């Protein structure tokens, strides 16, 4: 006999009835796992690791101790994921307003606010304890400072109040350079601070050219990014200045760290490309080109490649130095 959703009374009377509604399905474990991974912003973490690993090579004068490198990358990833998750918890209202971020788990309610907060806090504690137990106290302190700065200074204080948000908030993104150095040497020196400044000056033009593409999103979310409150020409002029600062500071690393001609040549070429592209954008703006026709995303992608290749040179240079000796 065929199965049916009709009641006995309906079956007796011959009346048709609608099928019983299906019970809502619970999300699978895999779906939850993917949501929490997305909450960690893995693309942002990749960028941070690009700056951590090379500094460890410079600090070690070659290949760093394997266990130290693995532990630093593991707990550094947890530290960054912690800050990103708590950022998503705090900014879930903003994320719902912006096309670029409305697919994030917090904005889509794939993860509860409490779940995001607890996840972030657990990662923060785990990364700090891990650095303390398996690396050293200095790296743990720097990691905890980076988390606190990103959450309390950038996300809660600066982001919604000032156009200088990414300038000073970017300090948190510079910290992996110091953490990587401290993990190997248990100390700090001028060399990592120079690379810290490279990332510091690189961050504003990199972020602003992306923000110009999503200006309407930031305006709708009431986030006063510089492209929202200033003209294209003002944004691009400042981007030119920061690009020059990035290129110059990258060359200062050459004598400070005692690198070979290889790093110096790479830094010079990459810096020239970055500055030329920044000037081209400014020239197009002065010529009256506006909006999408400025093609600011070209600079954004170039700046990504710039940082990756520069720090690749930082990684390779100590190995070349050993070969030359």
CATH code: domain of residue 197: 1.20.120
Residues 181 and 201 in one domain: no
Taking the alpha carbons at both ends of the chain, their separation in whole angstroms is 87
Could you count the other beta carbons within 10 Å of the beta carbon of residue 143? 31
> Which residue among 151, 167, 185 closes a domain?
185
pLDDT tens track of the chain, all 325 residues?
333 444 444 444 444 444 444 443 456 777 778 888 888 888 888 888 899 999 999 999 999 999 999 999 999 999 999 999 999 999 999 988 888 888 888 888 888 999 999 999 999 999 999 999 999 999 999 999 999 999 999 999 999 999 999 999 999 999 999 999 999 999 999 999 999 999 999 999 999 999 999 999 999 999 999 999 999 999 999 999 999 999 999 999 999 999 999 999 999 999 999 999 999 999 999 988 887 788 899 999 999 999 999 999 999 999 998 877 5
Residues 79 and 205 in one domain: no
Residues 53 and 159 in one domain: yes
DSSP string, 131-153: HHHHT-HHHHHHHHHHHHIIIII
CA–CA gap between residue 75 and residue 48 (Å, rounded): 12
CA torsion through residues 209, 215, 219, 220, sign: negative
User: Burial of 140 by CB count in 10 Å (0-12 exposed, 13-18 middle, 19+ buried)?
Assistant: buried
Q: Which of 252, 172, 198, 191 is nearest to 57 (CA)?
A: 191
67 inside domain = yes
Residues 116 and 229 in one domain: no
Q: Which of 186, 72, 176 is nearest to 137 (CA)?
A: 186
CATH code of the domain in which 100 resides: 1.10.357.140
Q: Report the domain count for the chain.
A: 2
10 inside domain = no
Structural domain span for residue 291 = 189-325
19 inside domain = no
User: Burial of 294 by CB count in 10 Å (0-12 exposed, 13-18 middle, 19+ buried)?
Assistant: buried
How large is the angle between the packed helices 137-148 and 66-90, nearest 10 degrees?
A: 20
Contact 218, 211 (CB under 8 A): yes
Residues 123 and 199 in one domain: no
Residues 90 and 102 in one domain: yes
Residues 135 and 198 in one domain: no
User: Burial of 43 by CB count in 10 Å (0-12 exposed, 13-18 middle, 19+ buried)?
Assistant: exposed
Residues 213 and 302 in one domain: yes
Q: Which of 106, 131, 109, 133 is nearest to 120 (CA)?
A: 106
Residues 159 and 196 in one domain: no
Residues 181 and 205 in one domain: no
């Amino acid at each position: 006999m065929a199965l049916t959703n009709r009641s006995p009374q309906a079956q007796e009377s011959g009346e048709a009835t609608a099928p019983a509604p299906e019970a809502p399905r619970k999300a699978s474990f895999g779906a939850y796992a993917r949501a929490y991974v997305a909450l960690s912003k893995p693309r942002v973490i990749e960028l941070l690791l690009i700056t951590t690993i090379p500094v460890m090579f410079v600090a070690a004068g070659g290949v760093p101790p394997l266990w130290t490198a693995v532990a630093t990358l593991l707990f550094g990833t947890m530290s960054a994921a912690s800050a990103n998750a708590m950022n998503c918890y705090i900014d879930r209202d903003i994320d719902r307003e912006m096309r670029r971020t409305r697919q994030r788990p917090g904005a889509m309610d794939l993860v509860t606010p409490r779940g995001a907060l607890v996840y972030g806090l657990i990662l923060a504690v785990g990364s700090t304890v891990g650095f303390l137990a398996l690396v050293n106290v200095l790296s743990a302190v720097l990691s905890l400072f980076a988390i606190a700065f990103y959450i309390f200074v950038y996300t809660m204080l600066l982001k919604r109040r000032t156009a200088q948000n990414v300038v000073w908030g970017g300090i948190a993104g510079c910290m992996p350079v110091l953490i990587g150095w401290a993990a190997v040497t248990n100390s700090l020196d001028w060399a990592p601070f120079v690379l810290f400044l490279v990332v510091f000056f690189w961050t504003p033009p990199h972020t602003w050219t992306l923000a110009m593409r999503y200006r309407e999103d930031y305006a709708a979310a009431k986030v006063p990014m510089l492209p929202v409150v200033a003209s294209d020409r003002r944004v691009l002029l400042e981007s030119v200045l920061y690009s020059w600062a990035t290129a110059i500071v990258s060359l200062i690393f050459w004598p400070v760290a005692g690198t070979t001609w290889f790093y110096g040549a790479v830094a010079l070429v990459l810096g020239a490309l970055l500055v030329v592209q920044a000037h081209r954008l400014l020239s197009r703006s002065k010529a009256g080109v506006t909006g999408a026709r400025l093609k600011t995303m070209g600079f954004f992608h170039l700046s990504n490649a710039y940082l990756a290749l520069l720090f690749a040179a930082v990684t390779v240079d100590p190995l070349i130095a050993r070969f030359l000796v």
